Amino acid sequence: MHVKKRAKIFIVCTMILLLALIGRLAQIQLIQTESFSKHHINLIEASVKQRTQAIVLDDGRGRFIDRNGDAITNDYYPSLVLFPFLKGMDWPSDKIAAIIGVPERELIRAVEQAKTPFAFGGKYPLKLTELQKDQINALKIPGVFAVYKQVPADERLAEHLIGIVRQNYQLLKERYPEKLKNSLISPDTAIGITGLQRAFDEFLLPEGESKLLYHVDQLGGPLFGLDVKYTAPANPFYPTAIKTTLDKSLQTMVEKELDKIGLKKGGVVLLDVETSDILTLASRPKMNDKNPLAEPGGINTMILPQIPGSIFKIVTAAAAIESNLKVNSRIYDCNLNLYGEKGSERELGLLNFEESFAKSCNYTFAKLAEELMAENPDYMEQYAAKLGLIGRIGWHGDVFHFGNFKQFPEEQTGRIWGDQKDKYVKKAINQTAIGQKEVRLSPLAVANMMATIARGGEKKQVRAVSEVQYKNGTTLFSFPLQNLEGEQLSSHTIDKLQHLLREVVQSGTGVRFNTLPYTVAGKSGTAETGREGFVNKWFAAYFPVEYPKYALVVVDLDVRENEAKTYEIVEKIILNIYQSVNG
């Protein structure tokens, strides 16, 4: 009896174990073949990978190019792809070497060392011409292909503006639930987390990889002869290219100068005056490769509000001129401090309005602000808005089914007041008039203000991207130039501001730039940050004055004033631009 009972228990346990194994097998092979375990592993793909060798030609995600079509992220050009099974064959390596102009021994050595298919030339494969590509393919050599391949950019440019891409299943599920549900994208698809990668993510999503592959046996030899297959997404128009407004050569120059000079925190914005398109945007500190989202390197300081200091005097000056305060007939005692008391750190003597602006006299603009606020408590916001300083500055509008699409999703808007009650407090008015207290403006907005003044007062949205292109270079969507809403300054006020900004360089705080090959108009700013001895050091400019083409802002943030690199950077950038234009 005991033997029979034990036998029954053994049989039942065996059946349970077999049923569990069958259930597990069904789960693996029938039920969760494309999304197995919490890691969402595609078992079909994993199985194929085990018995194939492949070289990915294009991961399928769209790329970024500059205004001239030059690659910013991934380049895409004809490359020579070689398969490792060539080492066991007699193939015309001499003919290939002659076509591409390299010693034959280099080709043979590369193949002998290869365990997987590779693009000849390493991380940055040798770039072939169209003629070389056609000549190689005409030979029809098994395992030798001349094909377009995605190649990483040789340097990382505009990293804060372009943004980063990462795998994040939770975020992927939130953004694209239907695509995941219908298996249009895989659970391990990388998505844009910041910057333009985030803004244009739906345009950039891969529809699948393009690759060359062949099946191998246990020893890595060809399983089905020498048949190499090409696989690619069915849609020939993808992946897309995002055509930015950046000028790669200028971006490269600016970033090299920042690194050479050693700017620790701050950056540069360079705009095209005619369009308010970004030519260059560089933020420091750089991103941390291991943790790019970690502060401070993970922050794009150029689109975040900063304390502007005397840059804001442009707003006060514009309001005084347009409000007919008869500034031209008055003299101000610039030996007095901001509050009209003796003991100013910078005793400048008796100055008129133009001289006060050029030499950045705090007392003059604090006094003007008191008078303006007595007449209109909202003047500061109104005139900041007329100059395009507050509100969303970056391009925004409707794009297909995207309502209110934003090219700068992380952009934060500027502000003038922290507490509306301060509008009636004299000292708060004095401080606000010179860009202190609660005034915060982004370098991007300040650059756009300079472009607005330079082109005569027309306010425009700032573009970082001009169009989205299909793979063949035709246009999927074009982003039109768009004006910022709201009132503009009168032409008389703009003319006067242009004159004032030129005087800053001719006889005021920017006189250092008066000897540059381009004529420059601009305004300096030194803002107290709240840390004793530390300031934000600004210079905002446009040039050449006779036919304005560039609007430039450089800011060194939270730095000791005597260590600020601002003026040196401005000088280097303008000189380099002049030399590149004039040889």
Residues 242, 244, 248, 253, CA torsion sign: negative
- Right CATH number for 258-552 from 3.30.310.50, 3.40.710.10, 3.20.190.10, 3.40.50.300? 3.40.710.10
Q: How far is CA 15 from CA 18, 19, 20, 31, in A?
A: 5, 6, 8, 22
Cα separation, 371 vs 368, in Å, equals: 5
Strand partners, 507: none
Residue type, 350: L
Residue 270 burial (10 A CB sphere; 0-12, 13-18, 19+): buried
d(CA 465, CA 467): 6
Contact 520, 510 (CB under 8 A): yes
Strand partners, 551: 271, 542
- Both tokens assigned to 364: 């003059």
Q: Specify the pLDDT at position 88.
A: 77
- Report residue 20 CA to chain centroid gap: 53
Residues 6+ apart with CB under 8 A from 147: 57, 78, 79, 81, 133, 212, 230
Apex 31 CA angle, 25 and 33, nearest 5? 85
Q: What share of the chain is helix, strand, coil (3-state, %, to 5)?
A: 40, 20, 40
- The catalytic residue positions are 310
Tokens read off for 197: 């990668």
Q: Say how far apart CA 213 and CA 397 lie, in whole Å.
A: 43
Stated as kind and residue range, the H or E segment containing 365 is helix 362-375
The CATH number given to 53-244 is 3.90.1310
User: What are 167's two structure tokens?
Assistant: 């795998």
Phi then psi for 333, rounded to 5 degrees? -85, 95
Q: DSSP string spanning 421-478?
A: GGGG-HHHHHHHHTT-TT-BB-HHHHHHHHHHHHTTS--BPBBSEEEEE-TTS-EEEE
Secondary structure class of 63 (helix, strand, coil): strand
Tokens at 314, concatenated: 């442009």
- The pLDDT, as a whole number, for residue 113 is 92
Q: What is the pLDDT along the chain (583 residues), one digit of tens a residue?
A: 566 666 667 677 777 777 766 656 655 555 555 554 555 555 445 444 455 778 888 888 999 999 999 999 988 899 999 988 888 788 999 999 999 999 999 999 999 998 889 999 888 899 999 999 999 999 999 889 999 998 888 788 999 999 999 999 999 999 999 888 888 888 889 999 999 999 999 999 988 888 888 776 655 555 545 567 777 777 778 889 999 999 999 999 999 999 999 999 999 999 999 999 999 999 999 998 788 888 888 899 999 999 999 999 999 999 999 998 788 889 999 999 999 999 888 899 999 999 999 999 999 999 999 999 999 999 999 999 999 999 999 999 999 877 889 999 999 999 999 999 999 999 999 999 999 999 999 999 999 999 999 999 999 999 999 999 998 889 999 999 999 999 999 999 999 999 999 999 999 999 999 999 999 999 999 999 989 889 999 999 999 999 999 999 999 999 999 999 999 999 999 999 999 988 7
Cβ contact 503:357 at 8 Å: yes
Res 216: pLDDT: 64
Tokens 């381009």 -> residue? 518
H helix runs in 150-287, sequence order: 159-162, 169-175, 177-181, 195-199, 201-204, 248-261
Query: How many residues belong to the chain?
Result: 583
Give the residue extent of every domain in the chain. 53-244, 258-552
- Contact predicate 174/22, CB 8 Å: no
pLDDT of amino acid 223: 53
- Backbone CA torsion sign across 81, 86, 91, 94: positive
Helices (H), 475-558: 491-507
